[in-house]
Structure formats: structure tokens, C-alpha cells
Structure 1
């Protein structure tokens, strides 16, 4: 007979509920009826050690936590700036938020203990300021010139320059092979810490919306507003349902990526056709929709022009997505998917990966903690380093 794990029932239940996992889903992880899991959570019976270990892995909690006498203190939930009718956060979203919070907690504490200087841009402004002024300060701080992205990977430039200033940028669309993220549920979030500013971007979308999300989350750092975001791109609908912080950060992102002086200089000629709008969008690293909304908001085009061009742009965008999907499929067939270790670096943040590896190589971080922070076994660290220096 297998040894029983005499866990604390209320802690087992808390671990499942905090993972946003139903009784049925959790029970299936250990191949038992749902009623059996309910018995474990109420203390009427106990799981085996192996079953408890499987549940700990599924809930992404340390096995030892189940034996605590009471529910432990957990990371504080991030403020939810999404619309009131947004999808509830699912297991994937909860897990990625918790993972980034763990990374942030370590690097923030490390920087404080080392006497690092606070980042001056975090909280430099508030929503009382002009969004255009905040946008310009972001551009100045990161040394970015917008509107020059034709043939250039815009989001890579922004990430590289943000991390060069000490901002950790995590970007992924998966937790594991079986659990992915939904961009309609969560597009990004920011942790506005003076010692360890962190930004997460859900990469379950094409590059233009991801870039807008990134700049939007940077705006959260500049006004020191930690929280979760969705419905980030410019819109002309549902404005009444958006949080004031979100509205402000959308305006900042629009001004940073599509400064009004550049658009005014280009004039109305860029709106002669959907194809022209699409080409301008690529130059600015944004979507055609963002360019249309920007033109409408700046008074360059009328609402009738906007509506007509949007219908044409939607059709052209669908054709573009089909071509992109075909291109990616061919690339995958010829060279395979991206390296697992590259995906881990993007998920961890390139800057965070480098920081952890430096601390580990310097003897300032225990091997098990370094492995846990990077989600990679110690004997595979050389694979991470190989990708870092490519």
C-alpha cells in the first residue's frame, strides 16, 4: 500500500483554487474521481505521497507547502485594469503572473541589498500630465526615434533598449506544452518597482499589437501604476468601460509610437488607400487599425473615411495574416521551431537571465535557486548562455 501524505486539507484546497483550477480538472491530473479530491480537501481521506507531489506540480507550488499548518501568505494580486466584462483570469494567466512575481521579488530584493540606485523614470509622471509629454520622455529615456521601422524588427529594438535601461521584459504565450495564454484575456502587465521594473507581454498575437502592449506597459512604469491590462490598442468604442489609467496609457503609447508631429507632417495623403495605410503602419511598427484611429483622433480623416478604410484594411490584414502563417509554416518545415532555450530567455527576460547567470557564476546564488528562477536545469545553463551571446 502506498504511503499516505498527511497534508493540511485547507492548504490543498487553497492551492487548487489559487491556480484557478476546477475540482474536475485537478482530479484528472491524478486520475481519480472528483469526489476523491473533495475528500482530500475536506480531510476525510488523504492522497498518496505521489498523488500529492503530482498536484503540487500541477498547481505550481512546492510540495512542502501542503504540510504547513495553515494557508501561507501569497503574492498580492496585481490590480486589474481590464474592463469589468473581461474574461476571468484562467490558470495560465495566474501562473505567468505568479512566475513573474517570483522573479521580480528576487531581483528587487537583490538590488536593494546591493544598494543599487532607484530607477528615476519609475513614477516620474502621473495621469495628471499630458500623455504626449510622458511619451516623449519614454522616447528620450530609451533613445528611440519612431516611424523608422520599415524592414526593421520594431519590437526587438524597443525590448533591447528598454532592457539596456534596466527594465526586465518577459515575453511569452505559453506556460508549458499543454497550457497557453489567451491574448483576449491578458495582453500584458507591469510591476512598477523603483528597483526592479518588470513588464510582461503576451506574445499570443502578431508583432504590432505586442509592440503597442509593450509601450503601454512602459507607460504604467512611468506613472508607477502596477497592474494587468487587456484591450490595449487604440479604440473608438467602449471607452466608457476602460479604466482611466488604461485610457491614459493607451494615449501615451499612441503618442510614443505615432507622434502627432510626424502624422501632421505626413498629412492626409497616407489615407488615400488601405494599402497606403498598411505601408505607413509597417513604418511605425503598428497595425493599420492603430494608424486609422490615430488619424481620426488627430482630425486628419473623417469618421466616414475611417469606416471605409477600416473595412478595406480588415480585408487586407486577413490576407496578410494568411501569407504570414504560410511563411512561418515553411520556415518551421525547413529549420524547425525556435530553440527551447531561446524561448526560455524570452520568457525569463534576457536581462533577467543574464543577471541570474552572473550571480550563479559569481557564487552569489545557490544552484537550486538559479535553476528555479530560470526554469532550466543547471547542467543546461550552457545552452542558455549560447543563445544569449548569439
Structure 2
């Protein structure tokens, strides 16, 4: 064996002098059981349990594998205590009949990716001495005194004012999504999507991270387009209320505690933003003149397209406006959801790596990074790191995000 091989072998066997609490924290915040983590590291379950209890030590090589499995930097394991403010998010989900649930490793990964991208974006803005956009925000005192309907009207007029145009009424569901996403991005919100279908919609539909500067909204990339549009506005309401969290968009019919009360308000405001009462009444006038047995999925879906929402969302909106009965909604809900899923599946097309990547990490974010790269504010390696692609893929990703056309070059 060569001297190099002997040296590497010796280094690999050196005990890693880390705090046991850091090992346990890193595993738990990634959502792994001891058994699952041990398998990823390649050691016995009892060995990992002993290391977390302080009775044994991982080797440096095993610690490297643990860092990779937990998606943490090696340096974090040598801290005395876990960093403050990391991996804390209010959980509004009602999983398995409760108000919260365990996080999967994939959800932990997406949460930390959102934090990392925000840090990179702020670093980029500060390195260019560029003011951080804050147009997304509304005065807290104003938000607090407005009713749900008033707040929705204020939000719609505010965002349409920022966009310089009214929200779309086209049947193109992507046009609705693009309008609201791009408007929020331009106003200073970092909008991301979970990638690779790793997080199930049953676990998370969307989440928001509140900050005065560059708040974040993460949508589930596996969700249907119209559902993502509603989730986007729902999470934006969370940000305006300074109440970030993890949401599942389960329909809330009554406020049984502060969490469900807040979710009910965010749902109500988002519904009014996307489906204003006057417009809903006008769009469904002929439908409401028909017997309820003629309120088919096709007819309601046809009326819903101008709002960029699903037939189920519009029917629920009619219920809340007193234009349809709750019993009708309960009878039709499952059928409408099933028909909607089938419709979305039949309309789905094959994915494109660059378009999907730009959507997942945010088109506005991609354009910011690509612009800084073009102006030589950051080098190619840094740009590729920020964009999570290879250096040779930067140009095509920027084009997919609309950077080339937007720059006119």
C-alpha cells in the first residue's frame, strides 16, 4: 500500500470529536429515524444510537457520510449547540386528524433550500448595493383593521397596481399562475417550487417564511397549476399577517383554535382576491338559473377558468357567498376533485429540464443571478452554485427564465 493510502486510511479511522447533541439534532431535523440514518451512513443502528448518547464516536469518514445524508455542512457538527432560528416553522397542517405532522426528509431539504436561496439572493443584492424590493408589504396597522373582503380588495388593487395591469381572465391556467407569481417576485417575494416531486401534496401544499426583506413562498411543484395559484395567494396573505407557516389547504369550515381561525381567514381572503364576489355573480348568473342537478362539473369548470381556479374552488366560493348550499358542495366535492385530477393529468405535457428548473428555483431569482453573472459581479462557479446547475447550463437556464428576451440581447 502506498504512503498516501496509509495516510487516508488512518485519517478515515480518526474519531470525530463532535457534540452528541449535534448528531441527534442533525438527524431529527432531517426527519430520519435512527435506523434509517444508520443505513444511509453505513453503520449499525446501535452504533449510531451510542454516538448520539455520547458513548461512542463516529470516525471522520462516517461523519462525512452523515453530513451528506443530513444535508448539512461538516462544520455545523463541530458547534456546541444547534444554530438558533433554524428549522422552526409554525405548522398549520391537519395531518391524520391532528394539527401537525412529522416532516419527511424531503420536506426538511426543501425548507433549508428555501433559506439558502434567500441568503444567496440577499448576498447578491448587497454585493451590488441594490435596494431590496419591499413593495410586496402593506402596513400592519392597515391589514389589522380591514375585514376579509376589504383586505382582499386592497391586495388585488395593490398587486395589479404593481403589475401595471389587471389580473387575467383567460382560460389559460398558466397565464393566471404566471401573473401572480411574477408580480410577487417583482415586488420582493422569493417564490419557489418543490423539485423532483419529492414532497407529496398530502404532506404539504405550500409554505411561507416571513422576513421583512425577501420573504419566501414555496409551492408544491407536484400540485396542479390552479391549486398552486390559490396556494400562492393564500401564503401571501400569511406574509401580510406576519404569520408564516406550513399549510395543507384543507378546507376549514369553522375556527376551532387560533391555527384554524388563521387558515380560514387566509382561505377567505385568497378566494376573494382570485374570485371577487361581483365577478363570480356575473360569471355564474346563467348557471344559478338552472336546477341544481344541472350544476355539473363541466358547467362550473367552464365558469371557473376565467378566475384561474378549479371548479371545486368556485363551488365553495358560491357556498360562502350564499349562492349555493353547503350540502351541494359536500355531495359534489369528491367527484369534482376526481374530475379535476383527471383533467389536469390529460392536459399534462412532458417536462423540460430548464423550464422546470427555472420554475423550481424561481424565474425572478434566476434572472437576478444571471444578470449579476453577465455584469461579472459574480463568477461562473458562484452563479452555477446559486442556480444549482453546471456552468455550461447557466445560459440555457437563464433563457428558460426569460432573461435573454427580457434583456433584449
TM-score class, shorter-chain normalisation, is: 0.7 to 0.9
Conserved 8 A contact 2:311-2:336: no
Does the CA-based 8 Å contact 1:116-1:195 persist in structure 2?
no
Residue number in structure 2 paired with 1:87: 101
59-68 vs 252-261, greater mean Cα deviation:
59-68
Q: 1:19 aligns with which of 4, 21, 30?
A: 30
Paired residues of 1:187 and 1:202 also in contact (CA < 8 A)? yes
Alignment CA distance shift 1:48-1:384 (3 Å): farther
Match of 1:206 in 2: 224
What residue is the counterpart of 2:6 in the other structure? none
Change beyond 3 A, Cα 1:88–1:69: closer
1:163 aligns with 185
| Contact 1:131–1:252, Cα closer than 8 Å, also in 2 | yes
Residue 127 (structure 1) shift:
4.1
Kindly provide the CA deviation profile for residues 5-33 of structure 1, in whole angstroms up to 9, marking residues without a partner as x. 51403322221122121111111112222
Which aligned pairs between 1:352-371 and structure 2 lie closer than 5 A? Answer: 352-365=365-378, 369-371=382-384
The change in CA–CA distance for 1:191 and 1:14 in structure 2 (over 3 A counts) is closer
1:388 aligns with 2:385: no
SS in 1 for 2:143: coil
Q: How does 1:217-228 map to 2 (within 5 A)?
A: 217-228=235-246
Partners of 1:43 and 1:305 in 2: CA distance: 60
- The partner residue of 2:265 within 243, 248, 253 is 248
The alignment status of 1:230 with 2:248, answered yes or no, reads yes
1:51 aligns with 2:71: no
Distance (Å, rounded) in 1 between the aligned partners of 2:132 and 2:62: 46
Q: Which structure carries more relative contact order (alpha carbon 8 Å, separation 6+)?
A: 1
- Pick one of 31, 52, 72 that aligns with 1:61: 72
Q: How far did 1:361 drift?
A: 4.1
Greater shift in the superposed pair: 128-137 or 38-47? 38-47
Task: Name the residue aligned to 2:345.
Answer: 325
SS in 2 for 1:149: coil
1:203-352 → structure 2 map (5 Å cutoff): 203-231=221-249, 235=251, 237-240=253-256, 242-271=259-288, 272=290, 273-274=295-296, 275-308=298-331, 310=332, 314-315=334-335, 317-328=337-348, 331-332=349-350, 337-339=351-353, 341-352=354-365
Query: Taking structure 1 as the reference length, what is the TM-score of the superposition?
Result: 0.84
2:217 match: secondary structure = strand
Structure 1 residue 4, shift from structure 2 partner: 2.7
Instruction: Check the 8 A contact 2:252/2:260 in 1, yes or no.
Output: no
**Partner Cα distance (1:296, 1:316) in 2:** 15
1:182 to 190, 194, 200: 200
- Maintained 8 Å contact 1:112/1:195: no
* Deviation, structure 1 residue 370: 4.0
| Cα 1:247/1:109, change in 2 over 3 Å | farther
Q: Which runs of 5+ in 1 are unaligned?
A: none
Q: 1:3 to 1:363 in 2, by over 3 A?
A: farther
TM normalised by structure 2 equals 0.81
* Partner in structure 1 of residue 4 of structure 2: none
Computed over aligned residues only, the root mean square deviation of the Cα atoms, in angstroms, reads 2.9
Cα deviation digits, residues 80-115 of structure 1 (max 9, x gap):
334452322222222211211122234345546736
Q: 1:383 to 1:48 in 2, by over 3 A?
A: farther
Does 1:30 pair with 2:41? yes
2:145 is paired with a residue whose SS is: coil
Unpaired segments ≥5 residues, structure 2: 1-8
